[in-house]
Amino acid sequence: MAAEVNSGLEGVVAAETTISLVDGQAGRLLYRGYEIGDLAAHGSYDRVVGLLLDGEWPARDEVLPAASLTPSVLSALRGLPTSVAPLDAMRTGISAYGAERRLDWPPNAEQARELIALGPAVVGAFARVRDGKQPVDSAEGAHLGVAGRLLHAISGEEPDEAQARALDAYFTVCAEHGLNASTFTTRVITSTQSDLASAVCGAVGALKGRLHGGAPSEVRDQLTQIGDVDHAEQWIRGALARGERLMGFGHRVYKTMDPRAAALRQVAERLAADADWLQLAIDVEDVALRLLAEHKPDRPLKTNVEYYASIVLDGVGLLTDLYTPAFAVARTAGWTAHSLEQAEHGRLIRPDSRYVGPEQRPLPTPA
CA atoms within 13 A on the CB side of 128: 20
> Least Å distance between CB 338 and ligand ACO?
15
For ligand ACO, the binding residues in 87-106 under the rule CB under 6 A are none
245 makes contact with ligand ACO (CB under 6 A): yes
254 makes contact with ligand ACO (CB under 6 A): no
* Structural contact between residues 258 and 302, judged by C-beta atoms closer than 8 angstroms: yes
How far is it, in rounded angstroms, from Cα 354 to Cα 195? Answer: 30
Neighbours of 41 (CB within 10 A): 14
The DSSP secondary-structure symbol of 138 reads G
**Number of residues forming the site for ligand ACO (CB under 6 A):** 18
> Least Å distance between CB 39 and ligand ACO?
17
> Least Å distance between CB 295 and ligand ACO?
7
For ligand ACO, the binding residues in 300-329 under the rule CB under 6 A are 301, 304-306
- Cβ-closest position to ligand ACO: 250
> Least Å distance between CB 95 and ligand ACO?
23
* Residue 21 φ/ψ, nearest 5 degrees: -110, 120
How far is it, in rounded angstroms, from Cα 248 to Cα 145? Answer: 28
296 makes contact with ligand ACO (CB under 6 A): yes
Given 128, 130, 149, 251, the residue binding ligand ACO (CB under 6 A): 251
223 makes contact with ligand ACO (CB under 6 A): no
Q: Which x/- pattern, by CB under 6 A, does the window 145-184 give for ligand ACO?
A: ----------------------------------------
* Sequence-ordered list of residues with C-beta below 8 angstroms from that of 205, at least 6 positions apart, any chain: 91, 185
Q: Which of 91, 145, 82 is nearest to 335 (CA)?
A: 91
* Structural contact between residues 53 and 30, judged by C-beta atoms closer than 8 angstroms: no
Binding residues vs ligand ACO (CB under 6 A): 211-213, 215, 245-252, 296, 299, 301, 304-306
